[in-house]
Amino acid sequence: MSTDQYSRSSHTHEMAEDVSSPIEDDIVEFVIEDEESPSDPMFSRKRHFSSIESQCSGAHWPEEEVPSSSSNFFEEDDDDEMGLMLDSVSESCYGLLGVTDHNYPSCGHINQFPDELLQWIFSFLPIVDLYRNISLVCHKWKSLVHDPLFIKWKKLYHRYLANEGQAVVEVDAILKQNGVTADNPLCVLNLVKYFASSGHVGDVSAILGCLKHHHLYEISENCVKRLPDLSCSNEQNVDPWAVLAVIVLLSTSLGDNQRLMRCLQHLQSPLRLAEVMEALYCLATLLFAMREQKILISNRIHYNIFYSLYLLENSGSQQKIQSHENTRHKPTFSLTNEQQQIVNHNIQDGQVVKIMAFAEGEAGFIKAKLVVKTLENFFASADETIDREHVPIWCKNNRGENEMVKPQDKQFAVREADKIWKKMQSLEETREYAYKMTHDGYLKLWQLRRPDLSIYNAIFVDEAQDCTPSIMEVVLSQKCGKIFVGDPHQQIYTFRGAVNALCEVPHTHIFYLTQSFRFGAEIAYIGATILDACKKIRRKALVGGNQEGTVRQHFQTKVAILSRTNACVFDQAVSVTDRENPSVIHIIGGPENFGLSKIHDIWVLLQPESERLRRKLDIKDRFIATWKNKGFSALKTYAVSAEDRELEAKIAVVEKYNHRIPELVKKIQMCHTAETANADYILGTVHKAKGMEFDTVEVTDDFIKVPFARHNLERLQISLASVADEWNLLYVAVTRAKKHLIMTKSVENILTLAGEYSLQAELTSQMLKDGPVLCALPHCRNSIPEQSVLTMRKLPITYSDKSEDKGGYICHACALQWVGPITQLMISHEVLTTMDVKLENIVLPRHYAALVQNI
């Protein structure tokens, strides 16, 4: 298989070029002999592979010998006999009706379809398939794909996402010329006007008739009717394309968008599905560009369009795979278009393929920590000897302040680390705990021996985002092909020297896996928005499947409670076991691995020596036992000075629960089950749960926090700390959920950074039929004006700490603060400007100081 030497991302840039520009002819094709595309695929001597090509039992790799079809039915010895028998049969006997003497032209080949029909078929394919496969089949197909009028908006959308210069200029000019700018309060109304006048065709009455089946039609129609510029010549006096745009803008879920597409595919609809897709691509392009231009609008609107189009284009290309052995009893599974691209790649020697599926008094402690970190950095590195490069640049002094490591301390750290490393390699028996060989140590020894893995055709590295340079050196030194797989946004081990191989290693090919079948749209949106709002990852969005999911409810049992720290895991274990009817729990990794015994040992160390002797309390952990003479306070000082976060957490647990520790540890051990199926609650840290999945996940409140919603953060001039690992931990936590996610108030605040406030539009006339209604926000209490067409309602939610936001209607002045110019759809600009704007009285808590920084 001849595979392109460009990365998939670079190819995205290629396809982002102007549609008239040439496409490289060597991209994803099977070359037999000819070097040019034939004019007709019927006579092609190239076999061009598409990721949607059938994977039935007759499908073969191009380099394999493909037996003739007759060999499936006849033995070779019978060929001559069968040939004579067939020759003796009259032509008039062939087929159902025989044949005549007339020479009819051959028919039935796809290239005999009209160009318009071929383009209609092609329009349903993912953009990558169009440019990597379809356009390379023959000159005719290439011309059809590159036709400037063919799927103009779909092409423009992907070119804009690829940040192609001409596309950016073109889209930004559309926004500017039509008043869709950040400084124009009517920008959303102008967006609707532009979309309604942008050349869409079709029987107006028939389209309206289809749209009336959508549950958001009535409120959308009311919005459009009050806009004089959107009047129409039809008897309903409303523009169907304006109504369609408003339905999209007011949709709150993927289901709303999918229902819109189904309405427009009604038998009475004059629109073809390809035309509906083009209209949605038009809106998706403009909405994405609006956020790029800093216009306040929820990312959810664009995300729902993108998600529905993604599912539509990729659903038909999924290939069913089944084992050839005992197929009657083997389950089948489907490959997505993205997965098919990877499966079809023929790895060759030398290729690197990436798959992206995101102190004076206590100087002894300080210097010991410096030596330990030096060893850790050396173990993680690709270097052969310890030198000053492995010594940390900064360390904490005995006052807990960061200071630069002095040259003499660097020299000391190198000398002591080298001495310990030599002792670790010694085969002589030792009682010194510091000289025991560690996992990282023997991995380093293996790397230094320069292993030869030439017996393998390819090396597959999973979780590549958490590779150390030591592992990378071993893999990259091999001659065979290498495949690195991982999610760069799940990199959570940089504290152990891990680097992101998905970014660091040069590659020959790159593929993306953006779809997860673990969850549906609701949970996928939360994960995608964490990447969008906190890591500025917008151009590659996470999507899930079509299954249902919830993020606003609370569940009592069969819940996986995931925490940032072990201390919080202990708190959760106490919460569900220390009650009249204790729950059955499963701690991921088991109680011993979690460190329950060590917590008990630290509590024993806290007791006076006389009490330990009287009650015969023994310390089993060797390390904790070394502090028996120095005592608990010395251990605590060591943990702080050495920056041993794990030990600090256990000490904090002991200090918090103090005399109850023995009782609580015993309860937790008694309530623990080794089988997750028998547990009411599954408890663990994100690090332990990585790679796992659970039906229901509850995220605890000890992750990095966003203290307030976007509009209040802007008032206080607070920006978020850029701590990639911490955002990755939160992302990993929420994406463990399959069906239900119970989130914190902080996660909801993250959604607001992307303009999403969980609001739902309702008709004001219906809301006010029982009398006046006040704004549900305690600091406001404005009356909802009767002149408004629609009013926003905040949806209720129960958070992981069991607190509840009951939601309610909010006034348009508050809605303007929250969601910006989309409020102009619901009320006239003149009335909106007369409403009082009430601001919340908020104070930034001191304990957030470490998590956020002033601009």
Cα distances (angstroms) measured from residue 607 to each of 610, 633, 654: 8, 11, 11
Residues 776 and 784: their CA atoms lie apart, in Å, by: 10
3 state SS of 353: strand
Percentage of the residues of the chain whose pLDDT score is greater than 90: 47
- Residue carrying the six token digits 């309702």: 762
Inter-axis angle of helices 661-671 and 566-577, nearest 10 = 80
Candidates 592, 799, 555, 550; CA nearest to 681 is 555
The span from the CA of 284 to the CA of 154, in Å, is 9
pLDDT in tens, 122-134: 999 999 889 888 9
Q: Does residue 574 come out as left (phi exceeding 0), alpha (psi in the -120 to 50 range) or beta?
A: alpha
pLDDT tens per residue, range 373-385: 888 888 888 888 9
One-letter amino acid identity for 781?
Answer: R
| Residue found by looking up tokens 């360390």 in the block | 395
Question: Which two three-digit tokens encode residue 834?
Answer: 């007369």
Between helix 273-292 and helix 299-315 the angle, nearest 10°, is: 140
Q: Coil, strand or helix: which one is 809? A: strand
Neighbours of 16 (CB within 10 A): 23
Match 């943990």 to its residue by tokens: 639
Question: Of 744, 740, 743, 732, whose CA–CA distance to 695 is shortest?
Answer: 740
- The torsion angles phi and psi of 351, rounded to 5 degrees, stand at -75, 145
Q: How many CB atoms lie within 10 A of CB 348?
A: 15
For residue 565, count other CB atoms closer than 10 A to its CB.
Answer: 20
Residue 240: pLDDT over 90: yes
End-to-end distance of the chain based on CA atoms, in angstroms? 53
Q: Alpha-carbon distance 90 to 98, whole Å? A: 9
pLDDT in tens, 797-829: 999 999 999 999 999 999 999 999 999 999 999
374 sits in which H/E element = helix 363-380
d(CA 474, CA 228): 69
Both structure tokens of 806: 């009951």
- Whether 490 has a pLDDT exceeding 70, the answer reads no
Lowest-pLDDT range of 68-72, 91-95, 99-103, 568-572: 68-72
- Please report which confidence band the pLDDT of residue 174 belongs to, taking 50, 70 and 90 as the band edges: very high
Residue 834, pLDDT > 50, answer yes
CA gap 550, 697 in Å, rounded = 11
* Amino acid 461: pLDDT: 86
List, in sequence order, every residue forming a beta bridge with 774; answer none if it has no partner: 783
Q: Which residues contact 122 (CB under 8 A, 6 or more apart)?
A: 130, 134, 141, 144, 145, 150
Q: What is the pLDDT of residues 605-657, one digit of tens each?
A: 999 988 988 999 999 998 899 999 899 999 998 888 777 888 999 999 999 99
Residue 201: Cβ-neighbour burial (10 angstroms; 0-12, 13-18, 19+): exposed
Predicted pLDDT of residue 510? 80
The residues with which 694 forms a beta bridge, in sequence order, are 737
* The pLDDT of residue 491: 55
pLDDT score, position 564:
93
The DSSP letter of residue 30 is: B
Q: Is 218 left (phi over 0), alpha (psi -120 to 50) or beta?
A: alpha
Q: Specify which residues 510 forms β-bridges with.
A: 354
Yes or no: say if 461 and 505 are a contact pair by the CB < 8 Å rule.
no
CB-CB neighbours of 656 under 10 Å? 13
Q: Mind giving me the DSSP string for 696-707?
A: EEEE-TTS----
Kindly indicate the confidence band of residue 686, based on its pLDDT and cuts at 50, 70 and 90: very high
What's the average model confidence in pLDDT over 832-844? 86
- Looking up tokens 């079509």 gives 546
What is the average per-residue pLDDT within 214-234? Answer: 82
Helix and strand tally (H, E) in the chain? 36, 20
- For residue 284, what pLDDT is reported? 97
Q: Which of 25-29, 149-153, 469-473, 534-538 has the least mean pLDDT?
A: 25-29
Please give the backbone phi and psi of residue 338, each rounded to the nearest 5 degrees, phi first: -65, -45
Tell me: pLDDT of 42 over 80. no
Quote the CA–CA distance of 760 and 751 in Å, as a whole number. 15
pLDDT tens, residue by residue, 328-349 = 554 455 667 777 777 777 788 8
What's the one-letter identity of residue 301?
I
What is d(CA 313, CA 310) in angstroms, rounded to the nearest whole number? 5
Q: What does the mean pLDDT of the chain come to? A: 81
SS3 content of the chain, % helix, strand, coil (to 5): 45, 10, 45
Q: Which of 13-17, 207-211, 284-288 has the lowest mean pLDDT?
A: 13-17
Stretch among 253-267, 416-430, 551-565, 567-581 having the lowest mean pLDDT: 416-430
Tell me how crowded residue 805 is: count the other CB atoms within 10 A of its CB: 16
- Give residue 200's pLDDT: 75
Within 13 Å of residue 373, how many CA atoms lie on the same side as its CB? Answer: 23
For 382, phi and psi rounded to 5 degrees? -95, 5
Give CA 50 to chain center in angstroms. Answer: 26
Burial (0-12, 13-18, 19+ Cβ within 10 Å), 712? middle
Domains and CATH numbers, the chain: 152-315 (no CATH), 544-589+672-754 (3.40.50), 591-671 (no CATH), 757-854 (no CATH)
Mean pLDDT of 779-793: 94
The span from the CA of 282 to the CA of 186, in Å, is 19
Q: Note the pLDDT of residue 21.
A: 38
Provide the token pair at 691: 């790679």
| Residue-level pLDDT at 584 | 96
504: which residues sit within 8 A by CB, 6+ positions away? Answer: 472
Cβ atoms within 10 A of the Cβ of 211, count? 23
Distance between CA atoms of residues 631 and 844, nearest Å:
38
Q: Pull the structure tokens for residue 824.
A: 């102009």
Map residue 75 onto helix, strand or coil: coil
What gap in Å lies between CA 654 and CA 601, rounded to an integer? 10
Encode pLDDT of 716-749 as tens digits. 877 776 677 889 899 999 999 999 999 999 999 9
Tokens 């523009």, residue located: 239
Q: At CA 582, angle to CA 578 and CA 583, rounded to 5?
A: 120
| pLDDT at res. 234 | 52
Strand locations in 423-485, DSSP E?
A: 458-461, 481-485
Phi-psi region of 450 (alpha: psi -120 to 50; beta: other; left: phi over 0): left
Look at 466 and 287; give whichever has higher pLDDT: 287
The answer to whether the CB of 693 falls within 8 A of the CB of 738 is yes
Angle between helix axes 632-641 and 645-657 (nearest 10 degrees) is: 140
Q: What is the pLDDT of residue 517?
A: 80
pLDDT tier at 561, thresholds 50, 70, 90: very high
Helix or strand (DSSP H, E) at 853: strand 852-854
77 has a pLDDT exceeding 50: no
Eight-state DSSP code of residue 581: S
66 has a pLDDT exceeding 70:
no
The pLDDT of residue 305 is: 97
Query: Nearest Cα to 681, choosing from 826, 793, 576?
Result: 576
pLDDT at 173 over 90: yes
Distances (CA, A) of 441 to 136, 379, 425, 618: 51, 6, 9, 31
Of residues 836 and 493, more confidently modeled: 836
Residues β-bridged to residue 148: none
